[in-house]
Chain A
Amino acid sequence: MTNSFLLDGEEVPFTPGQTVMQAASAAGKYIPHLCWHPDFAAHGSCKLCTVKIGGRFATACTTRAAAGQEVENGTEELIAKRRTLLQLLFVEGNHFCPSCEKSGNCVLQATAYEMGMLSPHFDHFYPDRAVDASHPDVLLDFNRCIMCELCVRASRDVDGKNVFALSGRGAKSHLIVNSESGRLADTDFAATDRAAEVCPVGVILRKRVGFAVPIGQRDYDAKPISQKAVEKLADSEKEAG
Chain B
Amino acid sequence: MSFELETATVASDNLRRVAIDPVSRVEGHGKVTILLDEHNKVHQVRLHIVEFRGFERFIQGRPYWEVPVMVQRLCGICPVSHHLAASKALDVIVGADRLTPTAEKMRRLMHYGQILQSHALHFFHLSSPDLLFGFDSEVSRRSIVGVAEKYPDIARKGILLRKYGQEVIRHTAGKRVHGTGSVPGGVNKSLSGAERAELLKDAYQMIAWSRDAVRIIKELHEQNPALYDSFGTFPSNFMGMVAPDGSLDLYHGVLRAKDAAGRILFDHVDYQTYDTLITEEVKPWSYMKFPYFTSMGPEQGWYKVGPLARVQNCDSIPTPFAEHERRELVAYAGGKPMHATLGFHWARMIEMLFAAETIKALLHDDDIEGTDLVVTGERRREGVGVIEAPRGTLFHHYQVGDDDLVTMANLIVSTTNNNQAMNSAVREVAKQYLDGKEITEGLLNHIEVAIRAYDPCLSCATHALGKMPLEVTLLDAEGQMLDRKYKS
Which A residues fall within an 8 A CB radius of B? Answer: 98-101, 130-131, 133-134, 139, 205, 207-216
Q: Looking at the complex, which one of A100, A133, A211, A215 makes contact with B404 (CB distance below 8 Å)?
A: A133
B189 lies within 8 A of A214 (CB): yes
How far apart sit A216 and B188, CA to CA, in the bound complex (Å)?
A: 11
**Which residues on the A side are within 8 Å of B262 (C-beta)?**
none
A–B Cβ pairs within 8 angstroms, 29 of them: A98-B70, A98-B73, A98-B178, A99-B66, A101-B65, A101-B66, A101-B69, A131-B63, A133-B401, A133-B403, A134-B403, A205-B63, A207-B404, A208-B94, A208-B404, A209-B65, A210-B66, A210-B69, A210-B183, A210-B184, A211-B68, A212-B183, A212-B374, A213-B188, A214-B174, A215-B174, A215-B175, A215-B180, A216-B174
Of residues 60 through 75 on chain B, the ones whose CB sits less than 8 Å from some CB of chain A are 61-63, 65-66, 68-70, 73
How far apart sit A26 and B123, CA to CA, in the bound complex (Å)?
A: 58
B188: nearest chain-A partner, CB-CB: A214
A211-B188 in contact given A98-B178, A133-B63, A133-B405 (Cβ < 8 Å): yes
Given contacts A131-B63, A133-B63, A211-B180, 8 further A-B contacts (CB under 8 A): A98-B73, A99-B73, A101-B65, A131-B62, A210-B66, A210-B69, A210-B184, A214-B181
Of residues 33 through 70 on chain B, the ones whose CB sits less than 8 Å from some CB of chain A are 61-63, 65-66, 68-70
Interface residues of B, count at CB 8 A? 26
**Which residues on the B side are within 8 Å of A98 (C-beta)?**
69-70, 73, 178
Asked whether B179 is an interface residue with its Cβ less than 8 Å from the other chain, the reply is yes
B172: nearest chain-A partner, CB-CB: A214
A99-B183 in contact given A139-B63, A208-B404 (Cβ < 8 Å): no
The majority secondary structure among interface residues of chain B is loop
A211 lies within 8 A of B403 (CB): no
A99: nearest chain-B partner, CB-CB: B70
**Which residues on the A side are within 8 Å of B179 (C-beta)?**
215
A211: nearest chain-B partner, CB-CB: B180
Query: How many A-B residue contacts, CB cutoff 8 Å?
Result: 59
**Which residues on the B side are within 8 Å of A130 (C-beta)?**
61
In whole Å, how far is A179's beta carbon from the nearest beta carbon of chain B? 16
A211 lies within 8 A of B63 (CB): no
The winner among A130, A133, A134 for most chain B CB atoms within 10 A is: A133
B403: nearest chain-A partner, CB-CB: A133
B178 lies within 8 A of A211 (CB): no
- The 6 A-B residue pairs with the shortest CB-CB distance in the complex, in nearest-first order: A215-B174, A210-B65, A99-B70, A133-B403, A214-B189, A211-B180
How far apart sit A204 and B65, CA to CA, in the bound complex (Å)?
A: 15
In whole Å, how far is A104's beta carbon from the nearest beta carbon of chain B? 9
**Which residues on the A side are within 8 Å of B189 (C-beta)?**
214
**Which residues on the A side are within 8 Å of B173 (C-beta)?**
215
B63 lies within 8 A of A207 (CB): yes
**Which residues on the B side are within 8 Å of A209 (C-beta)?**
65
How far apart sit A98 and B183, CA to CA, in the bound complex (Å)?
A: 15
Q: Looking at the complex, which one of A139, A207, A208, A212 makes contact with B188 (CB distance below 8 Å)?
A: A212
How far apart sit A100 and B230, CA to CA, in the bound complex (Å)?
A: 49
Q: Looking at the complex, which one of A99, A208, A214 makes contact with B69 (CB distance below 8 Å)?
A: A99
A139-B180 in contact given A131-B61, A215-B174 (Cβ < 8 Å): no
How far apart sit A197 and B355, CA to CA, in the bound complex (Å)?
A: 43
B181: nearest chain-A partner, CB-CB: A214
How far apart sit A212 and B188, CA to CA, in the bound complex (Å)?
A: 5
How far apart sit A33 and B404, CA to CA, in the bound complex (Å)?
A: 33
Of residues 180 through 199 on chain B, the ones whose CB sits less than 8 Å from some CB of chain A are 180-181, 183-184, 188-189
B185: nearest chain-A partner, CB-CB: A208
A210 lies within 8 A of B174 (CB): no
**Which residues on the B side are within 8 Å of A213 (C-beta)?**
188
**Which residues on the B side are within 8 Å of A214 (C-beta)?**
174, 180-181, 188-189
How far apart sit A100 and B70, CA to CA, in the bound complex (Å)?
A: 8
A216: nearest chain-B partner, CB-CB: B174
**Which residues on the A side are within 8 Å of B178 (C-beta)?**
98
How far apart sit A139 and B63, CA to CA, in the bound complex (Å)?
A: 8
A208 lies within 8 A of B73 (CB): no
A211-B69 in contact given A131-B405, A133-B404, A134-B403 (Cβ < 8 Å): yes
B73 lies within 8 A of A211 (CB): no
In whole Å, how far is A216's beta carbon from the nearest beta carbon of chain B? 6
In whole Å, how far is B180's beta carbon from the nearest beta carbon of chain A? 4
In whole Å, how far is A34's beta carbon from the nearest beta carbon of chain B? 23
How far apart sit A208 and B174, CA to CA, in the bound complex (Å)?
A: 20
Of residues 390 through 420 on chain B, the ones whose CB sits less than 8 Å from some CB of chain A are 401, 403-405
**Which residues on the A side are within 8 Å of B61 (C-beta)?**
130-131
How far apart sit A98 and B79, CA to CA, in the bound complex (Å)?
A: 13
A210-B73 in contact given A215-B179, A216-B174 (Cβ < 8 Å): no
**Which residues on the A side are within 8 Å of B184 (C-beta)?**
210
How far apart sit A49 and B66, CA to CA, in the bound complex (Å)?
A: 32
**Which residues on the A side are within 8 Å of B404 (C-beta)?**
133, 139, 207-208
Of residues 68 through 107 on chain B, the ones whose CB sits less than 8 Å from some CB of chain A are 68-70, 73, 94
**Which residues on the A side are within 8 Å of B62 (C-beta)?**
131
